[in-house]
Amino acid sequence: MTLLRKTPTCPIHGAALVLSHHGKKSNLGHYFIEVVGAPLLYCPSCLEQGRDTSVEVEPAASNLFLKRLVQLLEGSEFPGLLEKPKIRVDFNPTKTTLEHPYAGALTSSLGPARVTAPHHVTPTPASAPAPAPAPAPAREPPEEEPPRLEGIDPVEPRHTLEQLVLDHQTLESIREATNVLISQDLLYETWNLCAVARTGRRVALNFYGPPGTGKTLAADAIADLLGKRILRISYAELESKYVGETPKNIQAAFTKASATGALLFFDEADSILGKRLVNVSQSADNSINVARSTTLIELDNFNGAVIFASNLVKNYDTAFLRRMLAHVEFRLPAAEQRERIWRGHIPPQLPLDADVDFTALAIDSEGAAGGDIQNAVLLAASYAAMRQGAEQVVRLADLKRAITFILEGKRKIIEGHDSPPFLE
């Protein structure tokens, strides 16, 4: 191995690079291993200008060590109640502060790294007298993990099971599944099913079906039935552009639900429950697999109630499917249910014309979900708001026009039909 004994300099400013121990390995891609204190060389002038020209010290050696650590962790068995540990690797355990910007011999294989919070060190001129030995620096406090999912807290449910307009089979499936939660003391304590329940008291439900069919409302109603608040999480709130952050957000969601006793509800769940990738060709693919593996681990360790909802259930990994207590399908409402949904979305304050016929609306809105009907009422009311005086009432024609507009737009998108080009 060739040793580099010349002080590295910045290619932009020509200044000697400063050594910092605040680097974090961002490309490790393993949930159970966190790396801090990685040594970096950086240019203070570049840092002040917002440039990241830092280079990692001895990346080949540290990467080899971490690779062997991963192999050791994955090759070890943790039987019974012994869980796989989470390991924090600190390449600067004594919190060393160097007085010189460059110390010792370094190999020439310097790879890029990211500086998170480097400390500036002033080099000692060669002509200056040697300073008195400085006292040992105080140990820096451990770096605190930044708060996650800020602003996303459990809320009180606003719906009940009695308010849901669903077909009989779906409602019956919901009641049967939630009865496991209601009767936990009888099932686990009196009848001692805790002796054979490998998953503990965790209950996971899977709601699937077309958009707008009431999956979110049903989760809200179940929270009301259980007397719990509901913690709603969508994938957009979990996803991060930084490698390794999405799994931490997933972990934070389960932790917050456990700490608050809330029902945990994941919308767009196919994004985190999808099939794990076999041919991993880039870091993004590995990050997807890590996020899904993290969800599996957190789900296995969770001791509460969690509901996943998706309209792309065919994308689920089978490892998740077998962890679900029940799979409840939400179908598009039939004519009788559509009539009830139409009536339920008309507040008393909304002025209706005498010609409004809810039975006729139910027939004309075949194929509409509850969400479509809600949007149609809002759109029809906006038509009425454009008129003046006594004409400012919602008519049957307004409601029919609105639902036709919504369903036709959906049909064109789903079937891939384009509108005809404009004539010149």
Q: What is the C-alpha separation between 37 and 171, in angstroms, rounded?
A: 54
67-84 per-residue burial string, b: 16 or more CB within 10 A, e: under 16:
eebbeebeeeeeeeeeee
CA angle 368, 369, 372 (to 5 degrees): 80
Which pLDDT score, from 0 to 100, does residue 250 have? 93
Which pLDDT score, from 0 to 100, does residue 24 have? 63
419: Cβ–Cβ under 8 A, 6 or more apart, which residues? 412
Which pLDDT score, from 0 to 100, does residue 38 have? 81
Q: Pinpoint the alpha helices (H) of 153-262.
A: 168-182, 184, 215-226, 235-238, 245-260
Query: Domain 335-413: which CATH class?
Result: mainly alpha
User: Residue ranges of the domains in the chain?
Assistant: 3-112, 161-329, 335-413
Which pLDDT score, from 0 to 100, does residue 63 have? 77
pLDDT values of the chain reduced to their tens digit, one per residue, 424 residues: 443 445 677 767 777 888 887 666 544 556 678 888 888 787 888 777 766 667 778 877 887 888 888 778 777 887 767 777 888 888 887 765 443 344 443 333 334 433 333 333 334 444 445 555 555 555 555 555 667 887 889 999 999 999 999 999 999 999 999 999 999 899 988 999 988 877 778 899 999 999 999 999 999 999 999 999 999 999 888 887 666 788 889 999 999 999 999 999 999 899 889 887 766 555 556 777 888 888 999 998 898 999 999 998 888 988 899 899 999 999 999 999 999 999 999 999 999 999 999 999 999 999 999 999 999 999 999 999 999 999 999 999 999 999 999 999 998 888 875 555 444 4
Which pLDDT score, from 0 to 100, does residue 211 have? 93
Contact 5, 105 (CB under 8 A): yes
Which pLDDT score, from 0 to 100, does residue 7 have? 63
Which pLDDT score, from 0 to 100, does residue 91 have? 84
CA atoms within 13 A on the CB side of 305: 24
At residue 313, the 3 state secondary structure works out as helix
Which pLDDT score, from 0 to 100, does residue 106 have? 39
pTM of this prediction? 0.64
CA angle 328, 329, 333 (to 5 degrees): 130
Which pLDDT score, from 0 to 100, does residue 216 have? 96
DSSP code at position 11: T
Which pLDDT score, from 0 to 100, does residue 116 have? 37
Contact 368, 407 (CB under 8 A): yes
Q: Which amino acid would we find at residue 359?
A: T
Which pLDDT score, from 0 to 100, does residue 53 have? 65
Which pLDDT score, from 0 to 100, does residue 422 have? 43
Which pLDDT score, from 0 to 100, does residue 281 have? 57
Q: Which fold has domain 161-329?
A: Rossmann fold (3.40.50)
Which pLDDT score, from 0 to 100, does residue 125 have? 45
